[in-house]
Amino acid sequence: MVISRIIPCVLYSNGGLVKTIQFKSPNYIGDPINSLKLFNDKGVDEILFIDIDASKNNTPPKLKLIEEIASECFMPLAYGGGVKDIETIETLLKLGVEKISLNTALLKDNNLCQLAVKEFGSSTIIGSIDVKKNIFGSYKVYDHRLRKILKKDPVQYAKELEERGVGEIFLNNVDREGTMKGFDLNLVKMIGDA
């Protein structure tokens, strides 16, 4: 029997939650704390909070905001954005975050993943993979910070992250993000099968 879990992913930018379409044109949709209270009331299983500006602007996580969110959160909280080192991960975990989603840091630093897994365990580290089709229609890993399609194959990259010890993979198809077209089941199957 398949058990569904509801895990909203909320995007934070410029002081509020936003909705984007294909990683562009963020539109304000609400206050983070008020939105979190709604998710508490709805009984979601977990929440992934991503600061979409942090890595792009090379800024650290907003610790005061994250502490406030963690104190209001009645479900496991995962956080991503601007995490570049073990010390930041440790600080976030002490604030009440249960899982850390790494994306840009994994593309830049091959050692961070292994160090984080060794220090905090696989169940704490999420490997985030953004994927976009290139001009030939092939899936490739996308670097949102550089706004560039990389030569990396997402299936191989997912296997590499698994070998590095991540406990979960957060997979995001840039071409479908925010378009309300549903999941890219072909991409999910390719990576799941691998």
List the one residue out of 133, 145, 68 whose CA is nearest residue 105. 145
193 is catalytic: no
Tokens representing 9 are 């992913």
Whole-number Å distance between alpha carbons of 126 and 101: 4
From the candidates 130, 153, 184, 193, which is the catalytic residue? 130
Residue indicated by tokens 């953004």 = 130
The answer for 128, left when phi > 0, alpha when psi is -120 to 50, beta otherwise, is: beta
CB 35 within 8 A of CB 17: yes
Question: Which residues are part of the catalytic machinery?
Answer: 130
